[in-house]
A and B are shown apart, each in its own frame.
Chain A
Amino acid sequence: DTGVSQDPRHKITKRGQNVTFRCDPISEHNRLYWYRQTLGQGPEFLTYFQNEAQLEKSRLLSDRFSAERPKGSFSTLEIQRTEQGDSAMYLCASSFRQGGTLNTEAFFGQGTRLTVV
């Protein structure tokens, strides 16, 4: 399967624990995004990488959230001291930027569903 893959698919954790999610984008995609989605809402932008550089971070992302993409390939999203409000689907997407092209499709992984109890 050469699509975007996310691991784990599901995570149940106790409040206060730290969790880390992994995203493997489509090979050679230089852009990688993290989104959060709750029931009945569209995906909310969290952060964006171009290669290994994190170019933007949403104000939604408190200092408990951190994302990395150390080698410009896979990415991790860590949530420290989880709260019940962090329960959501965390989606990763990737796309390829070539020159000034803007209309590039973003491909999504199947997401990691986090439940904080």
Chain B
Amino acid sequence: RKEVEQDPGPFNVPEGATVAFNCTYSNSASQSFFWYRQDCRKEPKLLMSVYSSGNEDGRFTAQLNRASQYISLLIRDSKLSDSATYLCVVILRMDSSYKLIFGSGTRLLVRP
């Protein structure tokens, strides 16, 4: 089983739609969580951190459910420019180790 799992999609939605992605993680020692965005043939870039209480940044809302070990990303009023791959990222800290574990990504296509 992968440490971080995501539905690969693609999610094909019209402009203005609301779309939600989920991500599950297997290691309960996971301590921090992020969503990264990756455009085609570009490097990943931080979209937002995910806090236990949930957090919102404009059209984007992230939620964390530690009991069920999943995080979610909600995008409201989708724009064409939101088309990208969204990577779920978990920080695993064990002893002196500290590493970011990525999911395979969920691809979003927003159509006119």
For A103, give its contact among B49, B96, B101, B103 (CB under 8 Å).
B49
Q: How far is the CA of A35 from the CA of B45 in the complex (A)?
A: 14
Q: Is B22 an interface residue (CB 8 A)?
A: no
Binding site for A on B (CB under 8 A): 4, 6, 8, 31-32, 34, 42-46, 49, 87, 91, 93, 96-105
Q: How far is the CA of A83 from the CA of B6 in the complex (A)?
A: 29
A-B CB contact pairs (8 Å), 25 listed: A31-B98, A35-B102, A40-B8, A41-B105, A42-B4, A42-B6, A42-B87, A42-B105, A43-B44, A43-B87, A43-B102, A45-B99, A45-B100, A48-B98, A48-B99, A50-B96, A55-B98, A56-B97, A91-B44, A93-B100, A103-B49, A105-B34, A107-B46, A108-B43, A110-B43
In this complex, the member of B6, B87, B100, B105 whose beta carbon has the largest number of chain A beta carbons within 10 angstroms is B100
A4's nearest neighbour on chain B, judged by CB, is B43
Q: How large is the interface on A (under 10, 10 to 19, 20 to 34, 35 or more residues)?
A: 20 to 34
B-side interface mostly: strand
Q: Is A111 an interface residue (CB 8 A)?
A: yes
Interface residues of A in 94-110 (CB under 8 A from B): 97, 102-103, 105-110
